[in-house]
Amino acid sequence: MKNEGRKRKTVSRSAADGRRRFFAFRFSLFAFLVILSVAFTMATALSVADFLRILFEPETTAAAPSGNLVAVWLEGLYGWLIAFGRMKAIVLFSILVFVLYGLKNVFTYLSALSIAAIRAGIVRDVRNALFRKAMHLPVGYYATHRRGDILARFGGDVVEYDESYLGSIQMLLVSIISMVMYMAMLFYLNLKLTLFVLLMLPVVGVVISGLSRKLKRKSQAVQEQNARLTALTEETMAGLKVIKAYTAIEFSNRRFRTSNRDYTRRRTSMFRRIYMASPMSDFLGNAVVVGILLFGSWLVMGGDSGLTPELFISYIMLFVLMIPPAKDLTTALAQMKKGRACADRMKEFLALEPEPDGDRDFEGLRHSIEFRHVSFSYDGVTPVIDDLNLVIPRGSTVAVVGSSGSGKSTVAALLARFYDPQQGDILYDGVTSVVLRSASLRHHIGFVTQDTDLFHDTVAANIALGHPTASREEIERAARVANAHDFIMQLPQGYLTDIGEGGGALSGGQRQRISIARAVLTEPDILILDEATSALDTESERQVQQALDSAMKGRTCIVIAHRLSTVVGADEIVVLEHGRVVQRGTHESLMAVEGRYRDLVNLQKLG
């Protein structure tokens, strides 16, 4: 078990390193492709003004002053094109522009594909991490938190995180790379005009940041309300029979409408702030363009040798091309505020403490299980188990009985380390349970409970849940022990029959026998039967009891029972009341004296 654990950790680290290398490569490829896309966009913009001047005023070409190396290089290219004649030059130039734009679009597409792989991988890893955390949380967490809120983190929060946060990061990266390249070229074309632009940009930033300041808080409120709405929907669907039975449909509709109205109001308020960012940034961007036109025209007319009319036109075109990434930048920052709320909710979930675990493997029961002064409370106030002392020898059958709420099922939960006692110890062969690894302990325990949890899968897969590598022969052998083989073979596809959600295609007795087969397949040392027959009719109970009698042979069994007819043959019967042991002994010895056990038997008309 220890070697297997080390191997799993090594494999996990290796896989994590592989994912990091994959993401680093994809990100580098993405950045390179974005740079190429922007470069081809700039090349197209820089070409237009000079080409038109040379085409329609060829006699000025030789005398035209060269603003910088870009202008010199372009003039040489266009002079070469015009040497073919004006019409051919127009055709060749059109082809050149078409090719440049085509390459720009190709690289834009390839960059999007590259970042899409990163986003998909991150979402996959986040979902895996959330599910892994959900599997390792204490059972008590699910008793105090609504399932709908937990499901919302797997559904709506992950989708919102991908679309608003990861999507915004993609937009932000493209915007930053584009703006840096455009700004570098603008600096190269004219320093004075670009410094003027930089003086105006902080004003734009202050206005946009003011719009998005409260967006994160609003988004967090929306996600929390969405989680409540999901929880309400899940709760209503689960209790639909009760709602219909008590004609509470209108009450449920009214409650849903109230919650949905609150969600809609919060979401509308959030989008109002989000959508304000784009038109505001558009307005401010246009204001900057007007400022550039005025100041740039003044420089050109003033005879600034570094800014020719053609370069000024190219400058304006480049700046106009920079406006969309600038708008995307502000939109991305606003969306990231919204997506950050989802990220925080998921981070909060991932930061929850997992169930406590030990550092020693359990190799199987050799002598006994002992409850030594065990006390336990779910809420830390009201004791459910109070100073329980009990010894269960290996190979014996001990029954725990009592009225509802006496703590019977809590005993089973403590045995399996779903909870740890607040006081006292549960000892397995003299070793306290808190030092044992939960997985290794549960590997030696078989469970058959009143609520049979089957999954939307085949009969064989449900039986093999705890032993997924089991052969068909092993599965059939377990089913025969559970008195289930005959009815399974009568199903349409035998062991390969899909039993539907929750085993809905089977009767209660059949589901219970599948559960017994599942427990038997793992060949456990300890078998816990928690009200295994209480929800069955007489005929189903008889069949399941026969299966249980077969499964219990040679095992240490703890029977939690309400129907006392199932515990008459137990080696010891422990009677609980309010978490305390009030009687213990065999059926015969307890029936021989006045006490709670005989009262319970008489109530069930067994005595």
List CB contacts of 234: < 8 A, sequence separation 6 or more: 147, 148, 151
Structure token pair of residue 496:
């390969």
Amino acid at 114: S
Residue 414 CA: distances (Å) to CA of 79, 399, 417, 519, 523: 88, 15, 5, 18, 21
- Pick 60 or 253 by higher pLDDT: 253
Residue 226 in this model has a pLDDT that exceeds 80: no
Q: Where are the beta strands (DSSP E) in 72-191?
A: none
For the whole prediction, is pTM greater than 0.75?
A: no
Residue 207: CB atoms within 10 A of its CB come to 15
Angle in degrees, 0-180, between the axes of helices 167-189 and 191-212, rounded to the nearest 10: 160
Strand, helix or coil for residue 533: coil
pLDDT at residue 369, rounded to an integer: 92
Q: Where are the beta strands (DSSP E) in 210-332?
A: none
Structure token pair of residue 589:
């010895």
What is the spatial distance between Cα 484 and Cα 550, in angstroms, rounded to a whole number? 12
Residue found under tokens 């978490």 = 579
Sequence ranges of the domains in the chain = 2-350, 368-603
Region of 355 on the Ramachandran plot (φ > 0 left; ψ -120 to 50 alpha; else beta): beta
Residue found under tokens 């929907």 = 233
What length does the chain have? 607
List CB contacts of 216: < 8 A, sequence separation 6 or more: 337, 338, 340, 341
Pairing of strands 368-376, 385-393: antiparallel
Residues 320-334: what's their mean pLDDT?
78
pLDDT 10s digits, 502-520? 777 788 888 888 888 888 8
Residue 444 in this model has a pLDDT that exceeds 80: yes
Q: In the CATH scheme, what is the code of domain 368-603? A: 3.40.50.300
Strand, helix or coil for residue 22: helix
- Confidence bin at 427 (pLDDT 50/70/90): very high
Residue 360 DSSP one-character state: B
Structure token pair of residue 417:
């380390």
Residue found under tokens 């105006």 = 200
Q: Which CATH superfamily is domain 2-350 in?
A: ABC transporter type 1, transmembrane domain (1.20.1560.10)
Residue in 527, 467, 453, 517 with CA at minimum distance from that of residue 488: 517
Residue 202 in this model has a pLDDT that exceeds 80: no
Q: What percentage of residues in the chain have a pLDDT greater than 70? A: 82
Cα three-residue angle 499-502-508, rounded to 5 degrees: 80
What is the spatial distance between Cα 162 and Cα 171, in angstroms, rounded to a whole number? 12
- Pick 395 or 300 by higher pLDDT: 395
Pairing of strands 423-428, 368-376: antiparallel
Residue 32 in this model has a pLDDT that exceeds 60: yes
Flag the least confident range among 90-104, 364-378, 461-475: 90-104
